[in-house]
Structure 1
Amino acid sequence: KTTKHQAEKCFNPRDSTLRFVNTEDEFDFLCEGFKSRRALMSCGHAVTPTSLTNWCRRLLDQGESRFTCAQRGCVYEWPFSEVRKMALLTPEETEYFEKALAANCPGCRTFVRKETSNLSVRCTVCTAKRGRVYEFCWQCLREWKGPAPRSDRCENDGCCNESLKTLKNCPDITFESVTGVTGCPSIRACPTCGSLVQHSKKHCTNIVCPRCQVPFCFVCLKLTGGCYSAQCSAAPRQTSIPMWKKQ
């Protein structure tokens, strides 16, 4: 929580790189009423620098190493570069965040930073000592096995991607406004960007991804323009997460 001794951080209203909105601060969970203008994260949710800092620090203090959106139905992972910019991190905060984001290399225990979109992490210390490239998996913290780069898992037994686990184990959805749909999971990975999303159960089956803003059918997973049937068949549970290739 922000104290009187901590100056609230505010966005520069002239920053043309930000998308300002006149909505509530969706991350002010303690109702502190931060005065900064609200700006949209890449997932489409509104924050102030201080509320975003508080949320991300909470994630780190809970042992998390990924910055995920807190809004229901949005489990988009923000890259650290976006958090650093949008939270207006001070040098002290940046140092704290970077230390918390480091992992001990299983080969030499040296702190190593993870690449946001690649679970395969190269340790320069072990690479130099062993005379060969040494990479380990950020997810299971074992020496990397299989092709790289990958954002879901390595090929070590037991290496599990939580998003894929969610897609596999989530219950089926029952729509309130659409009949005849069976076997449709309640959580889907957006076919365009891979962000996990949920349906409100109301209205039609088409939704707009809060991250990439591309509309698609929650049932058949086709883009909205390619789904013409009100009674389309449910696509199977997804076993991989699409990688977003921005144009």
Structure 2
Amino acid sequence: MEGEEKRYDPKDTTLKFVKRKDEVTGDDDPDVLRVEMSCGHAVDPNSLTLWCRSLIDQSHFTFHCPAEKEGTKEKCNKQWSYVEVRRHALLTDEEQMYFEEKVATLAAAKYCEYKWCPECKSCIERKDLTNLSVRCTICTTEKRKSYEFCWQCMKEWKGRAPRSDRCDNEDCTNIQLETLINCGTKILEYSNITCPKIRACPTCGMLIERKEMCKYIICTRCKVEFCFVCLQSKLICSKSSNYSNACAKPVAPKQTSIPAWNRTSNSNASSAAESSWCTIS
């Protein structure tokens, strides 16, 4: 996807050109032609492409401005539409295909619980997040008998249903749960606390490996900020400690269950009651 450096056509009257520094990179080369985005900040097509590509690579499917508001340390964070990004970043056909495929996949992963039927390869959305037995209506119609597969091992369902732990196929295991249980530990340098290096987000269940030093982290999927040490929301944990102090509660042990995200609940919820938990024993 890398090619020649992109440049605006100075004769393009549909763009608003400005002589200001690039708010993504800070570059102030006067010979670089820049445009003003809808939020009022300036970019060039190369910096805009790289910034939005980095957001996608971090599992974000919306694009926002990283500039600081004038005279403050507060981020602009105004959301740009994909149409605006595509136009001002001068996305190539190849880049457009990559952006659109990734954005669609990431958005679907947030708003839908879906996989591909192992038999007919059609896209299936799971309605009951506590039941691993899923019926494919297409296969059921074609076979003229009920066809169900296991959401976990992706094989035809065996055994009684509904179940939240596994089906009766011998190799049916929850890989994510095994990852949680068998992960190593990490020292968070700011607080000198040792805790498991991989956690399941307490709200949506997304697995997150801690690579930074601070104990607070924002889940890229549900956007809820929580403490990697005690697994409480930051709102609750920070009432009795901060990023460099020990939590009021002890270090939460390795998790033995993964929450299934109830997307209809408040995304800022901090209580476990607002998620459905599927415990694997």
TM-score range, shorter chain: 0.5 to 0.7
1:163-202 equivalences under 5 Å are 163-179=176-192, 181-182=193-194, 184-202=195-213
Q: Is structure 2 residue 249 aligned with structure 1 residue 220? A: no
1:188, CA displacement in angstroms?
Answer: 0.8
Q: Which residue does 1:137 correspond to in 2?
A: 150
Using a 3 Å threshold, how does the CA distance of structure 1 residues 213 and 176 change in structure 2: closer, same or farther?
A: same
* CA deviation profile, 1:52-106 (whole Å, cap 9, x unmatched): 8438979xxxxxxxx5xxxxxxxxx6526979xxxxxxxxxxxxxxxxx74442x
Q: Residues 98-109 of structure 1 correspond to what in structure 2 (within 5 A)?
A: 102-105=116-119
User: Distance between the aligned counterparts of 2:219 and 2:126, measured in 1?
Assistant: 21
Residues 82-140 of structure 1, C-alpha deviations (whole Å, 9 max, x = no match)? 79xxxxxxxxxxxxxxxxx74442xxxx4433326765442346535776532112442
Does residue 211 of structure 1 match 2:246?
A: no
What TM-score do the two structures reach when normalised by structure 2?
A: 0.48
Q: Secondary structure in 1 aligned to 2:205? A: coil
3-state DSSP class of the match of 1:54?
helix
Q: Does residue 241 of structure 2 align to residue 241 of structure 1?
A: no
Tell me the equivalent position of 1:79.
Answer: 108
Structure-1 separation of matches of 2:162 and 2:24: 41
CA gap of 1:2–1:233, structure 2 versus 1, over 3 A, is same
Where 2:149 maps in the other structure, the secondary structure is strand
Bigger share in strand:
2
Q: How many residue pairs end up in the alignment?
A: 182
The Cα of 1:185 is off from its aligned counterpart by: 0.9
3-state SS of paired residue (1:241):
strand
> How far apart are the structure 1 equivalents of 2:254 and 2:3?
46
Q: Which ranges in structure 2 are unaligned for 5 or more consecutive residues? A: 5-22, 26-44, 64-84, 87-93, 267-281
- Determine the C-alpha separation between the residues in 2 that align with 1:52 and 1:114: 26
Distance of 1:34 and 1:82 partners within structure 2 = 29
Which letter maps to 2:98?
Answer: N
The change in CA–CA distance for 1:207 and 1:129 in structure 2 (over 3 A counts) is closer
Q: Is the 8 A contact 1:23 1:46 kept in 2?
A: no
How far apart in 2 are the matches of 1:155 and 1:53? 41
Residues 1:218 and 1:127: Cα distance change in structure 2 (over 3 Å): same
Q: Which amino acid aligns with 2:222?
A: C
Q: Distance in 2 between matches of 1:80 and 1:148?
A: 23
- Local SS of the residue matching 1:221: coil
Query: Would the aligned equivalents of 1:80 and 1:116 in 2 still touch at CA under 8 Å?
Result: no
Q: Which residue of 2 aligns with 1:54?
A: 98
Q: Which structure is higher in RCO with an 8 Å CA cutoff and minimum separation 6?
A: 1
Rg: which structure is higher?
2
Matched, 1:123 2:136: yes
- Let me know the Cα RMSD of the aligned residues: 4.4
Residues 114, 138 of structure 1: 8 Å contact kept: no
TM-score, normalised relative to structure 1: 0.53
Once the two structures are TM-superposed, the CA of residue 165 in structure 1 deviates from its matched residue by 2.6
Unaligned runs of 5+ in 1: 5-21, 25-31, 59-66, 68-76, 84-100
